[in-house]
Structure 1
Amino acid sequence: MFQDFKVVRDRPVSIQVKEYVKRLIIKGAYQSDQKLPATREMSDLLKVSRNTVIAAYEGLEDDGFTYTIPGKGSYVAAMVRHSNADNEATASNPTWQIDWKARINEYAASAVELDLMKQGIRAQKGTISFTSIAPDEQLFDLGDVRRAFMDRMAIEGQVLLNYGYAKGYKPLIDYLMRYMENKGVDITGKDMLITNGFTEGFDIVLSALRPSGRQGRAICENPTHHTAIKNLKLQGFEITGIPMERDGIDVEQLESVLKQQSASFDLAYLTPSYHNPTGVVMSPAKRSAVMKLMRRYQIPVIEDGFNEELRYSGAHVAPLIATAGQGNGVIYIGSHSKVLFPGLRVGWVLGDRALIDHLESIKRARTIHTSTFDQAILYQYLLNGNFDKYVKKARMEYKRKYELTKACCEAYLPEAQLSGDGGLHLFLTFPPSVNTRQLLEACTEQGVIFTPGDKFFIQEGEGTNTLRLGFSRVSDEDIKQGIQIIGEQVRRLLK
């Protein structure tokens, strides 16, 4: 006994001692009413100070594990214990085991099957990875974030640490409503719900719009965001994909599908800016045409505001919800995760007031509310005027990396057709004979990984000659070296 006690750095030693002795009591090494070693003896056994042991014993008594007899010492308190025989397996009484795989429902099984992270390749140390499209943490302005934290805590710290509201932190809602208004959105008759990032907002909206008594049907760009495909399928939607062109969704194909099947669709999911995975920005003409079609056929639109702020060149293009005017047919889901800090899980759903009222109740039933702490820090950061300064810096750095990545692809991957007008990634389409799953296997052996593009297509077997190249967190040297290696492996496959 006591030989396995090791002090861990950066944690109060008295708490470590308390937890160690507590484990001994729970395991039965000390029995009820048995006296613990005296504080001086225990300090020698554990090689810690006597004051540390005194503090640990006080903590054990506070937690109800020991009691003190004045002048005699600390004793183990009586505990309700189960007999070991209750859990011992015998021929007539086998150990209680449940086959959880047999109990798992279709929803849970599908979630595993669609889990891109579980199916992805684990990058070994030193691997050049183009799989991430998260922001580069080296750009995070920690000083401004720390200042926002201190400012908000000084104003209402006690409030922030208590329960919040399902709808969200009102100062942040008010700020984001003005933010969306500055994008040209008419907020008349609209309201907002704060969520844990885009994904929760999307899932809540789908759960509210999923039809009862039949399978839902959704229309979207093809390829599209894998998280959207995953959640649509998990919510029971059948998905119809419309091909992408250089300036956005194929409007003629969209109109053709709607003419044939318009009554079948419950919603459309669209990402008009820096589309994931193609990186395409839908042209103003196509935005107008798409909205006319959705209005004509009365199909509600879920607009993904993905990476909308990472515009490198050209004029601002208004979101679809702005083109709807006072109409309520568009539900906008926004987040600053890709622009600012993914660690602050804050997103928002902007839509018709009656819809938001229902979404608020769904949110309350599921998670009560989004962390008020996260919301308040983000609000103060935005209020302090840091967002524009940060985005300007981020745009400059990502534009530089974008141009470097594009130049390297043009030099080392002439076989590929590139798409991507900004954001944090490029999308590559190779000749049909190039299977990017096989290419990934070959590149992995050379220390380079990327995301195969078929993950973003609706039907199995589509996009097998495509890949997404995320450059936001890759160094300049690794961008050059990694793309050169991909190029070498492509030519090997083509031979």
Structure 2
Amino acid sequence: MFQDFKHVGDRPVAIQVKEYVKRLIIKGSLQSDQKLPSTREMSGLLKVSRNTVIAAYEGLEDDGFAYAIPGKGSYVAAMAGHVAADQGGAEGSFTWQIDWKARMNDYAVSAVELDRMKQGIRAPKGTISFTSIAPDEQLFDLGDVRRAFLDRMAIEGQMLLNYGYAKGYKPLIDYLMRYMENKGVDLSGKDMLITSGFTEGFDMVLSALRPSARRGAAICENPTHHTAIKNLKLQGFELTGIPMERDGIDVEQLEAVLQKQPTRFDLAYLTPSYHNPTGIVMSPAKRSAVMSLMTRYQIPVIEDGFNEELRYSGAHVAPLIATAGQGNGVIYIGSHSKVLFPGLRVGWVLGDRALIDHLESIKRARTIHTSTIDQSILYQYLLNGNFDKYVKKARMEYKRKYELTKASCETYLPETQLSGDGGLHLFLTFPSGVNTHRLLEACKEQGVIFTPGDRFFIQEGEGLNTLRLGFSRVTDEHIEQGIRIIGEQLTKFL
């Protein structure tokens, strides 16, 4: 016994010793009231200092796993509720096996079936990967983030480590409300809820708007964000997709669908700026036309404020919620995750005050509140004026990569139709005979992977000749090399 202790990493050795002995007690290797080796003896057995063992024994006492008898040493405490692992089926053991798969409900089963990450593309180290559209962490200004954390802790200290509010950290809410007002949004009658990223906010809105007596019905662009498709389906919504044109959703088809079924739809999900996956920015004319239709048919709109800051050229285009004026029919879900620090997991929902009131209660019931530390760091970072400086730098770098990726596609994939007005990716449409899953397999053998585009379409079998090419985390050399390899493999299919 005590021969298998291994000191690992930079963790305090006393804690490692304490946890090692604790595991022996829980497994039954050390019995109740058994005397532990003396501190001098244990230090020799484990090859650690005696002071380390003394601290570990004190920790065991604090945790209720040991007790000391003055002048005699330390002993194993009797434990309630622990059954030794080697007792097997002995009387008093509660070991039994449950078939958890058989107990999963439809929601859990569907979540696995729709989980693209579990079905994701696996590739060896060194592969050129165009699958990510996350920001490049090399651009993160760590010094400014550290300063924001220290500044906020100096102001509020221990308060930030306690429970926060379900609605969110008020200084951040106030800042983001002004931020949205600067985008042209009329804040009359509106309020905001802070969430743990876009996805949580979207899921909460869907759960609040899902009809109780029947399946819901939603209208969206086709293709669209696969995470949105997953969550809409998990919440029981039937999806109707409207094709995309070069300047956004096909308004004529949208109107035709609404005229045919004027009372069917419970909501619309739209990404007007730097649409995922096509990268298209909806034109001002189409924004007005879409809002006119949504108003006429009284369909609430969930607007995904995806990548709005990554505009590389052209004038600012107001979000749909800004075109709604004092109207309350648009729910805007925002996040800086694709631009700034996705690890902070902070997003927001801006909408009618009555809606936010209900969402606040849903939030409190589910997760109590979004991390106050995360919210406060983001707030101080924004307050310090770092965001504009960072976005300017990020915009320049991503624009350069965008232009390099676009030029490489035009050189090596001349038969391909490109879309993407900004953001962190391009969407490629090949001639109809090309299957991008088969193309992916061929490219994977050559050390290149990408995201097949069919996962962004509503119906199975759609978009088999499309792919999304994320360039944000790929080096210049690999961008050109990877696209050249895709082009070489494509010629074999054509």
Specify the TM-score bucket, using the shorter chain as the normaliser. over 0.9
Q: Letter of the aligned partner of 1:75 in structure 2?
A: Y
| Partner residue, 2:154 | 154
Match in the other structure for 1:395: 395
Is residue 21 from structure 1 mapped to residue 11 from structure 2 by the alignment? no
Q: Which residue of 2 aligns with 1:88?
A: 89
Rounded Cα–Cα distance in structure 1 between residues aligned with 2:94 and 2:5 = 35
Instruction: Say if 2:28 and 2:85, in contact at 8 Å, map to a contact too.
Output: no
The answer for the alignment partner of 1:364 in structure 2 is 364
The answer on 1:492 being equivalent to 2:492 is: yes
In 2, Cα distance between equivalents of 1:192 and 1:466: 37
| Map 1:204-223 → 2, pairs under 5 A | 204-223=204-223
- Map residues 8-407 of structure 1 onto 2, 5 A cutoff: 8-80=8-80, 81-82=82-83, 87-88=88-89, 96-407=96-407
Letter in 2 for 1:212: S
Describe the superposition over 1:47-74 as per-residue Cα deviations: whole angstroms up to 9, x where unpaired: 1111111111111111111111111111
Q: Which amino acid aligns with 2:190?
A: K
The CA deviation at 1:82 is: 3.5
Query: Tell me, what secondary structure is at the counterpart of 2:263?
Result: helix
State the distance in 2 between where 1:8 and 1:86 align. 30
Structure 1 residues without counterparts, runs of 5 or longer: none
Distance in 1 (alpha carbons) for counterparts of 2:480 and 2:85: 62
Q: Once the two structures are superposed, what CA deviation does each residue of 1:293-342 show, in whole Å capped at 9, x if it has no partner? A: 10011111000000000000000000000000000000000000001000
> What SS does the corresponding residue of 1:264 show, helix, strand or coil?
coil
Check whether the contact 2:277–2:427 (CA below 8 A) recurs between aligned residues: yes
The runs of at least 4 aligned residues of structure 1 exceeding 6 Å deviation read 83-86
**Residue 453 of structure 1 corresponds to which residue in structure 2?**
453
Aligned-partner SS, 1:485: helix
Cα contact 2:302–2:331 (8 A) shared by 1: yes
Q: Say if 1:321 and 1:331, in contact at 8 Å, map to a contact too.
A: yes
Count of equivalent residues: 492
Equivalent position amino acid for 1:29 in 2? S
- 8 Å CA contact 2:271, 2:305 repeated in 1: yes
Unaligned runs of 5+ in 2: none
TM, length-normalised to structure 1: 0.98
Is the CA contact 1:89–1:95 (under 8 Å) kept in the aligned structure 2?
Answer: no
1:436 aligns with 2:436: yes
TM-score, with length taken from structure 2 = 0.98
Q: AA paired with 1:408?
A: S
Point out the more displaced range, 390-399 or 28-37.
Answer: 28-37
- Residue pair 2:27, 2:85 contacting (<8 A) in 1 also: no
Q: Distance in 2 between the 1:319 and 1:334 partners?
A: 11
Which residue identity does 2:34 align to in structure 1?
Q
CA offset at residue 123 of structure 1? 2.5
Cα distance per residue 1:256-277 (max 9 Å; x no partner):
1111112000000000000000
| Equivalent-residue separation in structure 2 for 1:372 and 1:95 (angstroms) | 40
RMSD between superposed Cα atoms in Å: 1.4
Counterpart in the other structure of 1:3: 3
Q: Distance in 1 between matches of 2:191 and 2:441?
A: 48
Percentage identity across paired residues of the two chains: 87
Which is worse superposed, 193-202 or 74-83? 74-83
Q: Deviations over 1:120-163 (max 9, x none)?
A: 11221001000000000000000000000000011112111000
Matches of 1:423 and 1:135, distance apart in 2: 10
Distance in 1 separating the partners of 2:305 and 2:205: 15
Change (3 A) 1:272 1:207: same
Alignment-mate amino acid for residue 382 of structure 2: L
Deviation at 1:35, TM superposition (A): 1.0
User: Which secondary structure does the structure 1 equivalent of 2:214 belong to?
Assistant: coil
Amino acid paired to 1:219: I
Deviation of 1:75 after TM superposition, in Å, equals 1.0
C-alpha displacement at 1:24, in angstroms? Answer: 1.2
